[in-house]
Amino acid sequence: MDVPPTDVGDALELIGGELDATVDHLRRRAGSGLEAVAEAIAASPRVFVLGAGRSGLALRMTAMRLMHLGLDVQVVGEVTTPAIRAGELLLTASGSGTTTSIVRAAETAVAVGARVAAITTDPASPLAALAGATIVVPAAGKLDRSGTASAQYAGSLFEQTVVLLGDALFHALWQRSGASADDLWPRHANLE
């Protein structure tokens, strides 16, 4: 029986190993949804992001990076967020793919003619069924405490992967844009 890590260095190695395996899985799997989500983001006149809890916090990081790229990005639930319209994109993250508020928002988006992209662990979830592009992350859902998909607590591996996916999507889109880092820099907040 393996002894769980009890110091931070061992925990860091475990987390790094799980992330490496997850990234390797996503890169090797044909039709993983990575390019479809990148294309949906690039083609949308506005991108709305929505996730709950830690997944939502992770997706907000992606929203900020996409804004640095010059995209019109909205975080669902902010007081200044406009209504989504036909042709726009709702980018979601829900490990289970069943989070009620996210599924409802996806239904609303589809009803008005917007597209949905989903990051989830469950390809058969209601959210994945509504999405035109889905990235399926091989990680435990927050309610899975079996330790088989991840030794980490709850949905930690999923949430960490959402951060990595967001940065990977941004990086690929940035490189395709031909913009330099100096071109992007003026979009950082300067109210400090």
- Element (DSSP H or E) covering residue 119: strand 115-120
- Which domains does the chain possess? 31-178 (3.40.50.10490)
CB 137 within 8 A of CB 159: no
**Model confidence at 192, in pLDDT bands (50, 70, 90)?**
low
> Mean pLDDT throughout 15-29?
91
pTM tops 0.75, yes or no: yes
Three-state SS at 137: coil
Give mean pLDDT, residues 148-172: 91
- pLDDT the model gives residue 151: 83
**What is the SS3 assignment for 79?**
coil
Altogether, the residues listed in the chain come to a count of: 192
DSSP 4-44: PP-SHHHHHHHHHHHHHHHHHHHHHSTT-SHHHHHHHHHH-
Sheet containing strand 73-75, strands side by side = 73-75, 47-51, 89-93, 115-120, 133-136
**pLDDT tens digit sequence for 76-85:** 999 999 999 9
pLDDT at 93: 97
Active site residues: 159
The pLDDT mean for the chain works out to 91
Per-residue model confidence (pLDDT) at position 1: 45
User: Using one digit for the tens of pLDDT, what is the confidence trace for 90-137?
Assistant: 999 999 999 999 999 999 999 999 999 999 999 999 999 999 999 999
Q: pLDDT at position 30, please?
A: 65
| pLDDT at position 18 | 93
How many of the other CB atoms lie within 10 Å of CB of 44? 21
> What digits encode the pLDDT tens for the residues 51-74?
999 999 999 999 999 999 999 999
87-111 burial, b if ≥16 CB within 10 A, otherwise e?
ebbbbbbbbbbebeebbebbeebee
* Sequence letter at residue 84: I
Name 91's bridge partners.
49, 117
